[in-house]
Structure 1
Amino acid sequence: MPAPAPAQPSPRERRRWTRYLVNERAEARVYRELAQRRQGEERAILLALADAEGRHEQHWLTLLGGEPRSLPRASIGTRTLGWMASRFGSIFVLALAQNAEDRSPYDDDPHATPAMRADEKVHREVVRGLAARGRRQLSGTFRAAVFGANDGLVSNLALVMGIGATGAPPQLVLFSGIAGLLAGALSMGAGEYVSVRSQRELLAATEPGLDAAEVLPDLDLDANELALVYRSRGLSEIEAQERAQRTIAQAKAPASDRPLSYRHRSDATESHEIVGDAWRAALSSFLFFASGAIIPVLPWIFGLAGLPAVLLALLLVGIALMLTGAGVGLLSGTAPLQRGLRQLLIGYGAAAVTYMLGLLFDVTLGG
Structure 2
Amino acid sequence: MSPEPTARDRRRWAQYLVNERAEARVYRELAERKTGEEREILLALAEAEGRHEAHWLGVLGGEPASLPAASTRTRLLGWMARHFGSIFVLALAQNAEGRSPYENDPHATAAMAADEKVHEEVVRGLAARGRRRLSGGFRAAVFGANDGLVSNLALVMGIGATGVGAHFVLFSGIAGLLAGALSMGAGEYVSVRSQRELLASTEPSELGAEVLPDLDLDANELALVYRSRGLDADAALQRAQRVLRRTRTTGTAPAHTGPVEVGDAHEVVGGAWRAALYSFLFFASGAIIPVLPWIFGLSGLPAVVVALVLVGTALLGTGAIVGLLSGAPPLRRSLRQLLIGFGAAAVTYVLGLVFEVTLG
Q: Which residue of 2 aligns with 1:306?
A: 300
Pick closer, same or farther for the CA change 1:309–1:65 going to 2, 3 Å. closer
Q: Does 1:94 align with 2:94?
A: no
Q: Which position in structure 2 is the counterpart of 1:77?
A: 73
Structure 2, unmatched stretches of 5+, are 201-258
- Partner of residue 176, structure 1: 172
- Alignment deviations for residues 73-100 of structure 1 (CA, whole Å, 9 cap, x no partner): 2211111111211222431111000000
> Does the CA-based 8 Å contact 2:312-2:338 persist in structure 1?
yes
Identity %: 79
TM-score, normalised by the number of residues in structure 2: 0.78
Residue in structure 2 matched with residue 188 of structure 1 by the alignment: 184
Say if 2:196 is the partner of 1:200.
yes
Aligned 8 A contact 2:289 2:311 in 1: yes
Conservation of the 8 A alpha-carbon contact between 1:330 and 1:336: yes
| Structure 2: distance between partners of 1:269 and 1:49 | 30
- The amino acid that maps onto 1:77 is R
Q: Where in structure 1 do 4 or more consecutive aligned residues deviate above 3 Å?
A: 7-12, 198-204, 266-273
Q: Distance in 2 between matches of 1:312 and 1:63?
A: 55
Q: Which residue of 1 aligns with 2:221?
A: none
Size of the alignment, in residue pairs? 301
Pairwise CA RMSD of aligned residues?
2.3
| CA distance in 2: counterparts of 1:145 and 1:158, whole angstroms | 20
Partner of 2:288: 294
For residues 269 and 163 of structure 1, the distance between their equivalents in structure 2, rounded to whole angstroms, comes to 47
Aligned counterparts of 2:5 and 2:299: Cα–Cα separation in 1: 70
Among 32, 36, 51, the alignment partner of 2:32 is 36
Counterpart of 2:120, as a letter, is R
Amino acid at match of 2:76: T
Conserved in 2, the CA contact under 8 Å of 1:160 and 1:297? yes
Deviates further, 105-114 or 151-160: 105-114
**1:110 alignment partner, SS class:** coil
Q: Give a deviation string over 1:20-48, Cα, whole Å, max 9, x none.
A: 21211111111111112222221121111
Q: Secondary structure at the match of 1:274?
A: helix
For residue 171 of structure 1, report the CA deviation from its aligned partner: 2.3
Q: Is the 8 A contact 1:23 1:78 kept in 2?
A: yes
Asked if the contact 2:145/2:287 (under 8 Å) is kept, the reply is yes
CA distance in 2, matches of 1:8, 1:202: 66
In the TM superposition, residue 201 of structure 1 has moved relative to its aligned partner by: 4.3
Q: Give CA deviations for 1:275-327 in whole Å, capped at 9, x if unaligned.
A: 21111101110111111111112222223222222222222212211221121
Q: Is the 8 Å Cα contact of residues 316 and 335 (structure 2) preserved in structure 1?
A: yes
Partner of 1:252: none
Give 2:333's aligned residue: 339
Q: C-alpha distance in 1, partners of 2:55/2:81?
A: 25
Question: Does the Cα contact within 8 Å between 1:327 and 1:336 map onto a contact in 2?
Answer: yes
Match of 2:347 in 1: 353
Q: Which residue of 2 aligns with 1:57?
A: 53
Aligned residue in 2 for 1:115: 111
Structure 1 pair 7–297 and aligned structure 2 pair: CA distance change class (3 A): closer
> In the aligned structure 2, how far is the partner of 1:28 from the partner of 1:267?
38
Change in CA separation of 1:140 and 1:271 when aligned onto 2, cut-off 3 Å: closer
Q: Return the letter of the residue paired with 1:79.
A: R
Amino acid at match of 1:276: G
* Separation (CA, whole Å) in 2 of partners of 1:77 and 1:96: 8
**Displacement after TM superposition at 1:202 (Å):** 4.6
Q: How has the CA–CA distance of structure 1 residues 43 and 67 changed in structure 2, closer, same or farther, with 3 Å as cutoff?
A: same
1:144-185 residue CA offsets vs partner (Å, 9 max, x unmatched) = 111101111111111111111111122222221121111111
- Tell me the amino acid that sits aligned with residue 336 of structure 2: R
Question: Which residue in the other structure is 1:365 paired with?
Answer: 359
Report the counterpart of residue 142 of structure 1 in structure 2.
Answer: 138
Mapped partners of 1:176, 1:345: distance in 2: 24
Q: Return the letter of the residue paired with 2:190.
A: V
Cα distance in 2, alignment partners of residues 19 and 163 from structure 1: 55
Q: Which runs of 5+ in 1 are unaligned?
A: 205-265
Give, in whole Å, the separation in 2 of the partners of 1:160 and 1:167: 11
Given that 1:95 and 1:128 are in contact with CA atoms closer than 8 Å, whether structure 2 keeps it comes out as: yes
> Which one of the candidate residues 124, 131, 135 is aligned to 1:128?
124
Q: Secondary structure at the residue paired with 1:195?
A: helix
Q: Which residue of the other structure, out of 312, 319, 324, is the alignment partner of 1:318?
A: 312
Equivalent residue of 2:269, what SS? coil
Partner of 2:156: 160
**Larger Rg over CA atoms:** 2
Tell me what 2:100 maps to: 104
| TM-score, scaled relative to structure 1 | 0.77
Q: 2:269 aligns to what? A: 275
